[in-house]
Structure 1
Amino acid sequence: MSHSANASHSGKAALMLAALGVVYGDIGTSPLYTLKECFSGHAGLELTHFNIIGILSLIFWALMLVVSLKYVTIILRADNKGEGGVLALLALAQRAVADQPRLSRYIVILGIFGAALFYGDCIITPAISVLSAVEGASIISHELDRFVLPVCIGIMIALFAMQSRGTAVVGKLFGPIMLLWFAVLAVMGINSILNAPEVLTALNPIFATQFFLHHPSVSFVLLGAVVLCLTGGEALYADMGHFGRPAIRYAWYGLVLPALVLNYFGQGALLITQPEAIKNPFYLLAPAWALMPLVVLATMATVIASQAVISGAYSMASQAVQLGFSPRMDISYTSEQQMGQIYIGQINWLLLLAVIALILGFKSSSALASAYGFAVTCTMVITTILAFFVLGKDLSRGRKMALFAVLAVLLVIDVAFLAANSLKLHEGGWFPLAVGLAIFTMMMTWKKGRGLLFQRLREGEMPLAGFIESFEGSEVTRVEGTAVFMTTSCDSVPHALLHNLKHNKVLHEQVIFMTVATADVPYVLAQERVVVRDLSKGFFQINVSYGFKEDPDVPAALGQAQRLQARLNVEPMQLSYFLSRETIVEGKYPAMPWWRRRLFSFMTRNATRATSFFKIPANRVVEMGMQVEL
């Protein structure tokens, strides 16, 4: 085999190993609690041979239909320049219905609600995962029960405290640890299946069907517990941009799916031979001597699963800022090599407080299981709906109809899981829904408020072309240097310039109107990023585009503009940046309800300063304040 072929194979193996550590942490730790909840939850299912086989069949076919067919086979095809996730899918769906404004508006609402629900998942995943792992200590001795909550809280504080230092070093350990974790899952499962090989009959979908026909009402309720085996499925799509479609697929079919199925079936075999093991079928698969090492390994695996959703929360927040659904935030880069490794302090500490409150409020993984699932299933439904608008556009009519028929079946399954989880709303499912609704309200308020603010500012602006023409023979004093006016409009004069002209009665010899926009793609090619127009009389228009996964850098964009237009003077010590700072006040005829206006005003006041967000040197900035009525 050639050297290049060896390098290619080693590169794929490295990506698969990395995908194990990041993508599959959440779904990989679901055996800790899923089967136990199916029998010890509020459905009250009797522990019989028929019921065990039926539940195992439901779990297996849920994994095959929802994860293998929907996500791995179909949804991974919906990539936005290689990127996945609900916001990337939203951008694709908007593009597909660009000629239908009303439908586009509904799609935006749907996509943003899905993104908001993701934060409910980000809070519950660390809590339930780490709790279920540490609770294994009670199998060793009930004397350790009183240490479960303090240890969990200590782990959470340590995990969130390390985020600002980055996960590059620890990340290298994630893949090997998860590789060991899945190997242990498989070995424990095989060892148990050998004692009751009849559990393998659950691979036949007839047993899932018979179980449903025999327990129609109970089966529906049980879907709320079965769905726990699917949590983390959305991560396959969300992390596609980090590892690529092939690595995610190979890792799923090559290791993750077989290990999960073997472990679930192993737990089922244990329950057939030892029904009393229902108190914790996962840990009781292991021999007594291996319990403590297994608790340690499970805790490490759940910390990795938590890390994945925490990193996802940062990424989602960054994308929301770029797409205009969130105020600016301080984003720190924790790796010089990987631009996707970021840290957002505001998000980090709010998540930590919410996770600790959840642990103290619910106290056990079983109690938390009642809160888990609603946000996940709601996001699953939204993903499937958006897929109808994105997939199939390049297929023939026959293949498109076949795809839509499959998606329709998958949507029915998603809706069934969502409906079952809605029964748990009063037991704790309200929590992720409340978090999602609160974040959704803030995101839509920010979008609405920024739109109204832009509209109000436009009402008082002067056309740019007429303004420049008026300088023919003008006696306005021009001073040395270059003034950069940040503006959201390409064809009107920024208020900051008009205020500066009114109060200081001077203009710089070069004036740059700079507009920074976010495209509906994750990354914009460097050669397409900057467009420069010479407007004459020392005025220039610079339009800069960034993808929704990129962060603006105004000085760098000015440097690129100078390479395109040699007449520009962007020497750092010759530049002055003029920014507008708006204060929101109540108008005579308010455009927003009082509570929403106050929320928008609060978010505006607490947004990260433009100097930090756009990487503008703070000592070169002049801010012009103004009041805007909303």
Structure 2
Amino acid sequence: MSHTSSPANGARPAASSHGHIGLAGLIVGAIGVVFGDIGTSPLYTLREAFSEHYGLIADHDTVLGVLSMIFWSLMLVVTVKYVTIILRADNDGEGGIMALMALAQRCLAKGGRSGYLVGILGVFGASLFFSDGVITPAISVLSAVEGLEVVAPRLHAWIIPITVLVLGALFATQRFGTAKVGRIFGPITVLWFLALAALGVFNIIHEPEVLHAINPWWAARFFIDHSWGGVFILGAVVLAVTGGEAIYTDMGHFGARPIRYAWYFFVLPSLMLNYLGQGALILEDPAAIQNPFYIGVPEWARWPMIVLATAATVIASQAVITGGFSVARQAMQLGYIPRMRVRHTSSSTIGQIYIPAINWSMAVVVIALVLTFRTSSALAAAYGISVSLTMLIDTLLLAVVARTLWPRWRSWVLPLCGVFFVVDIAFVIANGAKVLQGAWFPLVLGITLFTLLRTWRRGRQLLHEEVQQHGIRTDSFIPGLMLAPPVRVPGTAVFLTSDRGVVPQALLHNLKHNKVLHERNVFLTVETLTVPYAQRRLKIERIGEGFHRIVIRFGFMETPDVPLALMQSADSDAGVCIDPMDTTYFTSRETVVASARPGMALWRERLFALLHRNAAPASGFFRIPGNRLVELGTHVEI
């Protein structure tokens, strides 16, 4: 799920890169990356619906009722909600819950209660995205390898070791990037969906009665027969729509049209043929419910299908992992998580990134999940709550965007949001019933991540307020300094500061200890916008006496490169020419000290201090060369 960032001049490269690929190439690429998660759901969805947990009997009416719910969930949640409507909510071409949150906040008054609530929803949704992201690789790969039990029961003891080995290799190869592997993602996943469709047709021929499940009456009849207890089966049905968020997240990489074409004409038909084929097999032989996917495969094709399924689940996992990198970078840019070391794995595509801290954190959690739950059925109990809550948050944010930005469409989108809300609530209730069976894990993980994100955001705000309160205003400092000017030395000094109106602490420390002032001095502020790509990169203001104030803007999808952006200052009207070889960067590194003063709870302040101490320095995040950097430390109480 990696996204392409713009170059330093702010021009968005995606459009140009899409031009020579062509629509067909984009459709194949979208099939390989966007639909990997939802495309592996047939491995376990129908099996889980008839597991002992729900107590359903695999008779004619029940099978058709469950299949009807799967079909209409795919139509309503994925086709109508995500593919048809939410793909319209593009934030300058980018998608995903962080982009949707930023788009919704732009519609609301800055600093108001509504904007604050939207921010809370977006951050919680991003936290749930990561919870979902660690379960997807575990359940997908494990369910694929479990096919060994069907073809060779004696290999049962090897299922866990093989799964851990595959996942370990997957995470270990992330540092090499996905550019080369990505070229074969599309064709392999196309082959996977063709195999799903072929298997579905093969089994439907033996029991064509199953085609009646498309009639919504069978879903309604299921609820009539099972009363309110029938709602809980949605805890298994939701497994069929996991991956809907990925469709929106990857919009910026492929565009809305290729994703829509791939879904309407290829992915959706293949999925439904396979689900109906599994249902036909169960109608013919109820004992096949033990593993309807693999039992429905002819014996001669089972070994190749295990290999193909494992490859498909690895690709789905790859998409989730790289999506985690992309969302983490967006969260870093928007100030919700500490800065981390970001490595670029492609010299031609800047969007191909690798974040070691995210990668290995996910690896530890994913492998621990496999070793703890040990079967895909046990993991399925944990799966679903984070997905359904994320879908609910998407619906609420979509309603905000439709109400404020879509005056022509809101008359029909808002009523549909009401329908989506009811469906999402039903999914949340159904999955909430599985809390004691394992759904507690993604909830605990999501709440933990949410606490970390909010603590970091609030701590940064308190730190900024403290520095500003004790800072010296620029407009009074420079005239006073010039009354008894210090010694001027050649060169340019760039002082990083988050507050334009306050003298950077690094400058005050430099004057105090070194007692010199450079010939040219730049107060530099880096801003992250709520749009993916900045159109106007630099804002330069001449203060006088050799001082300039420069603001550099980056979109939340871009990788900040301060030295490269500053090289453009020579072309500005202010006439500031910054020679990289004659420039020294000064930054202050604050040591945060928790105190009993009003702000946050003491434990949150200590947590923020720990996060702040271990965050990557701004110099590395902004790609400032270490041999041109001077760091000066200071203690700050919050």
Structure 1 length-normalised TM: 0.97
Q: 1:385 aligns to what SS in structure 2?
A: helix
Does structure 1 residue 490 correspond to structure 2 residue 500? Answer: yes
- 8 Å contact 2:107–2:405 — kept in the other structure? no
Task: State which of 388, 397, 420 in structure 2 corresponds to 1:410.
Answer: 420
Task: State which of 122, 138, 144 in structure 2 corresponds to 1:127.
Answer: 138
- 8 Å contact 2:129–2:390 — kept in the other structure? yes
**Which structure 1 residue ranges, 5 or more long, are not aligned?**
1-6
Kindly state the Cα deviation for residue 499 of structure 1 after the two structures are TM-superposed.
1.6
Kindly state the Cα deviation for residue 438 of structure 1 after the two structures are TM-superposed.
0.9
Task: State which of 28, 31, 44 in structure 2 corresponds to 1:33.
Answer: 44
Does structure 1 residue 560 correspond to structure 2 residue 568? Answer: yes
- 8 Å contact 2:175–2:345 — kept in the other structure? yes
- Residue aligning to 2:193: 182
Kindly state the Cα deviation for residue 353 of structure 1 after the two structures are TM-superposed.
0.6
Correspondence 1:244-259 to 2 at 5 A:
244-259=255-270
Query: Quick one: distance in 2 between partners of 1:543 and 1:475?
Result: 26
- 8 Å contact 2:569–2:575 — kept in the other structure? no
Query: Quick one: distance in 2 between partners of 1:237 and 1:135?
Result: 30
Correspondence 1:159-174 to 2 at 5 A:
159-174=170-185
Q: Which amino acid aligns with 2:223?
A: F
Does structure 1 residue 503 correspond to structure 2 residue 546? Answer: no
Deviations 1:572-618 (A, max 9, x none): 23211111111111336253222111111111111112221111111
Does structure 1 residue 231 correspond to structure 2 residue 230? Answer: no
1:394/1:457 Cα in 2 relative to 1: closer, same or farther (>3 Å)?
Answer: closer
Q: Which amino acid aligns with 2:431?
A: N
Task: State which of 579, 584, 609 in structure 1 corresponds to 2:592.
Answer: 584
Q: 1:535 aligns to what SS in structure 2?
A: strand
Query: Quick one: distance in 1 between partners of 2:484 and 2:206?
Result: 94
Query: Quick one: distance in 2 between partners of 1:260 and 1:420?
Result: 23
- 8 Å contact 1:325–1:444 — kept in the other structure? yes
Query: Quick one: distance in 2 between partners of 1:396 and 1:601?
Result: 45
- Residue aligning to 1:594: 602
Task: State which of 603, 606, 630 in structure 1 corresponds to 2:611.
Answer: 603
Task: State which of 605, 629, 633 in structure 2 corresponds to 1:625.
Answer: 633
Query: Quick one: distance in 2 between partners of 1:104 and 1:523?
Result: 22
Does structure 1 residue 204 correspond to structure 2 residue 212? Answer: no
Task: State which of 436, 442, 445 in structure 2 corresponds to 1:435.
Answer: 445
The alignment of Structure 1 onto Structure 2 pairs a total of residues equal to 621
Q: 1:514 aligns to what SS in structure 2?
A: strand
Which moved further from structure 2: 578-587 or 301-310?
Answer: 578-587
Q: Which amino acid aligns with 2:354?
A: Y
- Residue aligning to 1:241: 252
Q: Which amino acid aligns with 1:460?
A: H
- 8 Å contact 1:45–1:218 — kept in the other structure? no
Query: Quick one: distance in 1 between partners of 2:574 and 2:416?
Result: 56
Correspondence 1:369-380 to 2 at 5 A:
369-380=380-391
1:392/1:554 Cα in 2 relative to 1: closer, same or farther (>3 Å)?
Answer: same
Query: Quick one: distance in 2 between partners of 1:599 and 1:31?
Result: 42
- 8 Å contact 2:495–2:524 — kept in the other structure? yes
Task: State which of 467, 472, 475 in structure 2 corresponds to 1:465.
Answer: 475
Kindly state the Cα deviation for residue 396 of structure 1 after the two structures are TM-superposed.
4.6
- Residue aligning to 1:45: 56
1:411/1:459 Cα in 2 relative to 1: closer, same or farther (>3 Å)?
Answer: same
- 8 Å contact 1:478–1:507 — kept in the other structure? yes
Task: State which of 258, 267, 276 in structure 1 corresponds to 2:287.
Answer: 276
- Residue aligning to 1:550: 558
Kindly state the Cα deviation for residue 479 of structure 1 after the two structures are TM-superposed.
1.1
Kindly state the Cα deviation for residue 554 of structure 1 after the two structures are TM-superposed.
1.1
**Which structure 2 residue ranges, 5 or more long, are not aligned?**
1-17
Query: Quick one: distance in 1 between partners of 2:577 and 2:471?
Result: 27
Query: Quick one: distance in 1 between partners of 2:596 and 2:285?
Result: 73
Query: Quick one: distance in 2 between partners of 1:382 and 1:394?
Result: 18
Kindly state the Cα deviation for residue 19 of structure 1 after the two structures are TM-superposed.
0.3
Does structure 1 residue 448 correspond to structure 2 residue 458? Answer: yes
Kindly state the Cα deviation for residue 9 of structure 1 after the two structures are TM-superposed.
10
Does structure 1 residue 66 correspond to structure 2 residue 74? Answer: no
- Residue aligning to 1:474: 484
Q: Which amino acid aligns with 2:149?
A: S
Query: Quick one: distance in 1 between partners of 2:574 and 2:500?
Result: 21
- Residue aligning to 1:3: none
1:438/1:10 Cα in 2 relative to 1: closer, same or farther (>3 Å)?
Answer: closer
Kindly state the Cα deviation for residue 408 of structure 1 after the two structures are TM-superposed.
0.4
Does structure 1 residue 145 correspond to structure 2 residue 156? Answer: yes
Kindly state the Cα deviation for residue 480 of structure 1 after the two structures are TM-superposed.
1.1
Does structure 1 residue 533 correspond to structure 2 residue 552? Answer: no
Query: Quick one: distance in 1 between partners of 2:20 and 2:474?
Result: 57
Q: 1:304 aligns to what SS in structure 2?
A: helix
Kindly state the Cα deviation for residue 100 of structure 1 after the two structures are TM-superposed.
6.5
Task: State which of 386, 395, 401 in structure 1 corresponds to 2:397.
Answer: 386
Q: 1:256 aligns to what SS in structure 2?
A: helix
Kindly state the Cα deviation for residue 155 of structure 1 after the two structures are TM-superposed.
0.2
Kindly state the Cα deviation for residue 8 of structure 1 after the two structures are TM-superposed.
7.4
Kindly state the Cα deviation for residue 315 of structure 1 after the two structures are TM-superposed.
0.6
- 8 Å contact 2:542–2:574 — kept in the other structure? no
Deviations 1:259-312 (A, max 9, x none): 000000000000001111111000111111110000000000000000010001
Q: 2:50 aligns to what SS in structure 1?
A: helix
Q: 2:302 aligns to what SS in structure 1?
A: helix
Query: Quick one: distance in 1 between partners of 2:262 and 2:309?
Result: 20
